[in-house]
Amino acid sequence: MPSAYSIDSILGKAERKLSAIPDDVEIMRNSPSVIMCPQTSGCMSVQSPSKDSNDRSPGASRNGENYFDSSPEKSENEEKHEHSHEDLNTSLSDGENEESGNAGNKPRKLRRSRTTFTTFQLHQLERAFEKTQYPDVFTREELALRLDLSEARVQVWFQNRRAKWRKREKTLGRESPSFMQREGGLGLPDMPPSHLGYQSPLEAYWSNRMTNLPGLNPLLSMPHGSAMLGNMAQYFNKVSSAGLFPNYFQSTAPGSSFPGIPHMYMRTGLSDISAIAQAQAAAALSSQLVGRFQVSEPEQGLDFRRHLTKIQQVTLDQEVAQRPGGGAKTSRLRGSCDVFFSNEIGHRIEASTIKHTNMPPKGVPAKAKPAPVKPKAVRPKAKDGDDMTDVDGADHDDWVNTKALVKPDDQLELTEQELKEEFTRILTANNPHAPQNIVRYSFKERQYKQTSSVDQLAIHFALDGNMIHKESDEAQRQRTKLGIPDAHVEPAVSEVGEPVSAAADSEDRGDEAKEEAGDDAGTQAASGSEGGGNKKLTNQFNYSERASQTYNNPYRERGTATEPPPRAVFSGNVTQWEIFDAYQEDFEKQEKNKEKKVIPGRKEEEKARKRLTVTETSGDDVSRIAKAAKIVERMVNQNSYDDIAQDFKYWEDPSDEYRDNEGTLLPLWRFSFEKAKKLAVTSLCWNPKYTDLFAASFGSYDFMKQGNGMMLFYSLKNPSFPETIYETDSGVMCLDVHPEHPYMVAVGFYDGSVGVYNIEKKDGHLHRCTAKNGKHTDPVWQVRWQKDDLENNHNFFSISSDGRIVHWTILKNELTYQDVIKLAMPDSAAEGPDGTKITTIGCGTAFDFHKKNDYLFVVGTEEGKIHTCSKAYSSQFLDSMDAHNMAVYKVRWNPYHPDIYITCSADWTVKIWERGNKSASDKSDAMDASAKKPLFTFDLNNSVGDVAWAPYSSTVFAAVTADGKLFCYDLSVNKYEPLCEQMVAQKKKTKLTHLEFNPEHPIVIVGDERGTVTSCKLSPNLRKQPKEKKGAQAVDPSVREQAEIAKLDKILLMVRDPTENKG
Amino acid sequence: MAEVVPEEKKEAPESKARIHTYPLIRHSDMNDEMKTEAMELCVTACEKFASNNENAARMIKETMDKKFGASWHAVVGEGFGFELTHEMKNLLYMFFGGNMAICVWKCS
């Protein structure tokens, strides 16, 4: 804020102008009193200071001698400013200028001719005026440019126009001029109503000042409004003005009653804010002096009087109460108040209301006016050159005498005459020094022309600012002068009595106003700095910095690396020969491929065969079509072995009719399996249910050539390949198919173990005993199923060389065993007397159960003995005899006759025994066992491997011998010679090991030691049925059985009789 | 057979004299589709730039980059040695025209 034009200073000045505080008359005298000529607005009258104080008013216009006739001599001293106010000149040129000019002592030096506006110009200006009454400097300049006028002319025109308009407004009866709409934001919106028709002195002042400082119009640039001012008042209430401008010395004008304190002149409406401020301020009123003014202004505005009416401390209420009274007195009481705030030293705020009332026009101004119509002449009222407040004292007595007027003590008492004395001194804005005869060459008109408009600026009034910057040289000087070391640490100057001293100072040193101002400013600054400059010291002992810093999170790197794609290294060398070789190689390959493609035509057959074999052997793929394959296979076999099948079914040897006692065997299919070729057939067993199916076990009888074993199931329908194949780790020495469950097969192994197979299952293996659960210690020579026991558990017997006969029972999942009998040598006891009782154990090789009596069975041993045993007696034989000289290979009961059984042995013989004989032998106990004789004995000239009764006749049996022959006997036909003696084995040296009659068909299968099973068809002579019973064949089997038994008995009788006869 | 064999024997010497021009893949771990495409590309490039191996290699490289993603490398020449690191399934080493070797691999 420029010091010279701060609002503060402006207001202060204004305040000083309008509300000189009546108390301090002396001070007031010092202050320049400005009286403005409101009507002409451009005209400013500055009341010259009184004689004794005129030289002390620094703010007074230095050109005062031009305008103040009353004090020309003083103005000379102050001629410092050379500025001239041309504007004022023009504004006064409306007629009164002459007068005012005449009124002045000095003749006017230059005078500008009156401007004549053209119609067009006027029109334009009027239009502009319609838009705005207060055009800003730019608008004016633009207007001036357009109308070919100087900006100053335009401005003046506007001023005049406004005045004219205002006047007309008034004559139209309006109470207040409305041109200053609040929204205008121009000038001083709240003109005191008393100024009707006149421009505010301030406005005039500023409008004048403005020309002095183009572009800078503090008032114009400042937003106005009473409320605003009220706010400011409030604000200034709170904040000491010194605090507001801490950087400035503030010096009040010398006339101020409170030097060092800016006075604020606030003009407010009756806004609430200001009212409150007033109320507050009033309530806080101290005993300080408060000027309460009632300023009456003449209607014509010729004079501007101030009457000190009373000095009084008032509260707002009082004020309000008083107002009606005052209003009653005055012709027009305006509601607007001027609030005068003064910031006291003690930070008190004084609020005083200044009532502006329009006083009825007094005679004095009227008289003083030379031209009554236009109140342009300004006459200073101060009669004695004293303060203007004194001047109107008498006038005011009239209307305020009801109230107790308090006059300053030193108020001049003026006589009536003195009061009436007129000082006609006209204040004009013409700069007397401005040359009026300037001639310039106009290029436009090509001639010298007198410039009509010379920018004359006459400064009527100038006031330097109260404040100087601390940093400025002046302030520095003042400070040093005052002995203040530094602005910041300035000690507080005792402020009580400051105003007095300041006042005294101002009185004493009159002419050095600036210095005084500086002094005041200095003190002010001191107080200000004291008020607001104290820096709070931090507590050094318990001090914490308020500011805090948030914790910075540590940065963290986070990243993931994907696995790079796998890489590989490759290297090579490229040379021409390598390329060539590569091509060569590839070419050869291609050639080979071509060959292969050609050849397949020839090799197709082979491949087809291979495929066949492949399909045959490959497991899983074929298993899906196993059934179909089997059917196809059988069909193929049926075709290929069709002749055999035909023979099997229909061939009856026709030669049999011509030879009664001879029969033949027709070899049919030969069953041979590749893997079993090196094994001997150890046992054969027809399947009780499927008469075309038989099982053959393979092992080795040679002690030195033991190896794996095999179990094959053949069907007559497919002689080329076994139906089922089971390979075992040990040689299979015997097997037996369960008579009622044809899928159950009991197996005895060479290693002494027994097992059970289920041929329905793929694996087949169900149980196998181990050393832990009763395994034989020598080869198992025979196993035989028994009827299910009482608990329906399958069970079978086995016989082994270790002399044990074991009863095996299948309990759910396990095989349990029970020793039935141990084949102790019966004659061991006889050897006992030597003292060495060694129980030798017989080696069982064969056994057979009685067809009718389950408990009864016969056992043949390696020693050639035959024991008749019962399950009931485990330690004792029912009977025992030396049947053969060598090992008994087979024992079989006659299927029909209950007491007849047949044995065969390695001693080349086959013997038929009768159990009933026993009793006879019992009778001759003394006779040795050898005395027991068989019913029949047949010598076959070789070791007899097996012997079997024919299922269809009680008198027919067959035997195989080691020289490959099969002997077939029919006792009913020939008791001594076989009906048939035929080589069955392909080679003579091939031993036949076993044979088995088919229970239904007239065939017999014969196994040899080379793994081959041969089937032979018995010729009709070998299977003769009793002729006499031909017709009764359909009779039930029991009858037939009886017949068979009778037939055998009849033969036996012939045999027995001689023996019995012998006996 | 007796007739066929002499024929073959006759063919063999002829073929030896013959210059093989077909592409021969010496080594590749590409999948079949990629291999076929790469091989076709190599053949095309070598036929197009029969006299300029560099251009052929450039063409192969750029085309492979476009088709199978960046960073392919190609070597075209009649004689060179190499030891390279390649991404798995991205190597083709082939002969072409009887005297050209082409090695294409990816390594980014």
CA A552 to chain centre: 24
Across the interface, whether the CB atoms of A571 and B8 are under 8 A apart is answered: no
Residues of A in contact with B20 (CB under 8 A): 583, 586-587
CA A1019 to chain centre: 97
| pLDDT band, residue A835 (cuts 50/70/90) | low
pLDDT score for A922: 44
CA–CA min distance A680, chain B (Å): 48
- Give the residue on B whose Cα is nearest the Cα of A575: B79
Q: Which of A568, A586, A591 sits opposite B24 (nearest CB)?
A: A586
Residues of B in contact with A587 (CB under 8 A): 15, 20
Distance of alpha carbon A244 from alpha carbon B4, whole angstroms: 126
| pLDDT band, residue A1027 (cuts 50/70/90) | low
Q: Where are the alpha helices (DSSP H) in A802-872?
A: 828-831
| pLDDT band, residue A700 (cuts 50/70/90) | confident
Q: Which of A565, A579, A598 sits opposite B98 (nearest CB)?
A: A579
How many CA atoms within 13 Å lie on the side-chain side of A833? 2
pLDDT score for B101: 92
The pLDDT tens digits of the residues spanning A776-828 come to: 888 888 998 888 878 888 888 888 888 888 888 888 777 888 888 887 765 55
Mutate to test the interface with B, among A573, A581, A583, A602 (most CBs of B within 10 A): A583
Across the interface, whether the CB atoms of A568 and B4 are under 8 A apart is answered: no
CA–CA min distance A599, chain B (Å): 9
**Mean pLDDT (whole number) for A523-533:** 47
Interface check for A976 against chain B (CB to CB < 8 A): the answer is no
Across the interface, whether the CB atoms of B79 and A576 are under 8 A apart is answered: yes
Sheet with B24-28, side-by-side order of all strands: B24-28, B91-96, B100-106, B72-77
Across the interface, whether the CB atoms of B16 and A584 are under 8 A apart is answered: yes
The pLDDT tens digits of the residues spanning B68-81 come to: 998 899 999 999 99
Helix A272-283 vs helix A226-238: angle between axes, to the nearest 10 degrees?
Answer: 30
Interface check for A1053 against chain B (CB to CB < 8 A): the answer is no
**Mean pLDDT (whole number) for A553-562:** 86
The region of weakest confidence among A377-381, A739-743, A799-803 is A377-381
The pLDDT tens digits of the residues spanning A149-162 come to: 888 888 888 888 88
* Contact call for residues A866 and A876 (beta carbons, < 8 A): no
Length of chain B: 108
pLDDT of A31 over the 70 cut: no
| pLDDT band, residue B55 (cuts 50/70/90) | very high
**DSSP states along B9-34:** HHHHHHHHHSPP-S-EEEEE-S-HHH
Which range, A104-108, A136-140, A748-752, B40-44, has the best average confidence (pLDDT)? Answer: B40-44
* Contact call for residues B68 and B106 (beta carbons, < 8 A): yes
| pLDDT band, residue A461 (cuts 50/70/90) | confident
The pLDDT tens digits of the residues spanning A54-96 come to: 444 444 334 434 444 444 444 444 444 444 444 444 444 444 4
Token pair for residue A767? 């149980």
Across the interface, whether the CB atoms of B26 and A587 are under 8 A apart is answered: no
SS3 A520: helix
Q: Which of B83, B84, B95 sits opposite A579 (nearest CB)?
A: B95
pLDDT score for A826: 56
pLDDT score for B41: 92
Q: Where are the alpha helices (DSSP H) in A271-311?
A: 272-283
Mean pLDDT score across all residues of chain A: 66
Token pair for residue A387? 């303060």
Across the interface, whether the CB atoms of A574 and B79 are under 8 A apart is answered: yes
Residues of A in contact with B11 (CB under 8 A): 591
Smallest CA-to-CA distance from A711 within A695, A723, A700 is with: A695
Q: Which of B20, B79, B107 sits opposite A567 (nearest CB)?
A: B107
Interface check for B9 against chain A (CB to CB < 8 A): the answer is no
Interface check for B101 against chain A (CB to CB < 8 A): the answer is yes
**DSSP states along A354-410:** EEEEEPPPPHHHHHH-SSSSSTT------SSSS-HHHHTHHHHHHHHTTS-----TT
Token pair for residue A57? 């008013």
**Mean pLDDT (whole number) for A658-669:** 82
pLDDT score for A825: 65
Distance of alpha carbon A1016 from alpha carbon A684, whole angstroms: 14
CA A76 to chain centre: 91
Across the interface, whether the CB atoms of A574 and B78 are under 8 A apart is answered: yes
Across the interface, whether the CB atoms of A570 and B78 are under 8 A apart is answered: no
Q: Which of B15, B91, B105 sits opposite A587 (nearest CB)?
A: B15
Mutate to test the interface with A, among B24, B25, B96, B103 (most CBs of A within 10 A): B24
- Give the residue on B whose Cα is nearest the Cα of A587: B15
**Mean pLDDT (whole number) for A170-185:** 52
The region of weakest confidence among A412-416, A611-615, A1042-1046, A1048-1052 is A611-615
* Contact call for residues A912 and A936 (beta carbons, < 8 A): yes
Amino acid at A886: M
Mutate to test the interface with B, among A573, A574, A578, A596 (most CBs of B within 10 A): A574
Across the interface, whether the CB atoms of B83 and A598 are under 8 A apart is answered: no
CA–CA min distance B91, chain A (Å): 9
The region of weakest confidence among A109-118, A228-237, B42-51 is A228-237
Interface check for B6 against chain A (CB to CB < 8 A): the answer is no
pLDDT score for A174: 56
Across the interface, whether the CB atoms of B24 and A583 are under 8 A apart is answered: yes
- Give the residue on B whose Cα is nearest the Cα of A584: B16
How many CA atoms within 13 Å lie on the side-chain side of A12? 32
Distance of alpha carbon A1046 from alpha carbon A1048, whole angstroms: 5
Across the interface, whether the CB atoms of A574 and B86 are under 8 A apart is answered: no
The pLDDT tens digits of the residues spanning A307-341 come to: 333 334 434 344 444 444 443 343 343 433 333 33
Across the interface, whether the CB atoms of B98 and A565 are under 8 A apart is answered: no
The pLDDT tens digits of the residues spanning A948-1007 come to: 988 888 888 899 988 888 888 888 888 888 888 888 877 777 888 888 988 888 889 999
SS3 A956: strand
B48-77 residues touching A, CB cutoff 8 A: 77
- Give the residue on B whose Cα is nearest the Cα of A598: B4
Across the interface, whether the CB atoms of A571 and B84 are under 8 A apart is answered: yes
At residue A690's C-alpha, the angle toward residues A689 and A693, to 5°, is 130
pLDDT score for A373: 40
Amino acid at A1019: S
Interface check for A579 against chain B (CB to CB < 8 A): the answer is yes
- Give the ipTM: 0.82
Smallest CA-to-CA distance from A991 within A663, A676, A682, A665 is with: A682
Distance of alpha carbon A307 from alpha carbon A290, whole angstroms: 14
pLDDT score for A402: 55
- Give the residue on B whose Cα is nearest the Cα of A565: B87
pLDDT score for A250: 40
pLDDT of A665 over the 80 cut: yes
**What's the DSSP call for residue A297?**
-
Across the interface, whether the CB atoms of B26 and A572 are under 8 A apart is answered: yes
Contacts of A258 (CB under 8 A, 6+ apart): A252, A342, A343, A344, A345, A499
Across the interface, whether the CB atoms of A572 and B79 are under 8 A apart is answered: no
Mutate to test the interface with B, among A573, A575, A579, A580 (most CBs of B within 10 A): A579
Residues of B in contact with A593 (CB under 8 A): none
A584-643 residues touching B, CB cutoff 8 A: 584, 586-587, 591, 595, 598
| pLDDT band, residue A378 (cuts 50/70/90) | very low
Residues of B in contact with A579 (CB under 8 A): 78, 95, 98-101
CA–CA min distance A565, chain B (Å): 6
pLDDT score for A308: 38
More confident residue, A442 or A829: A442
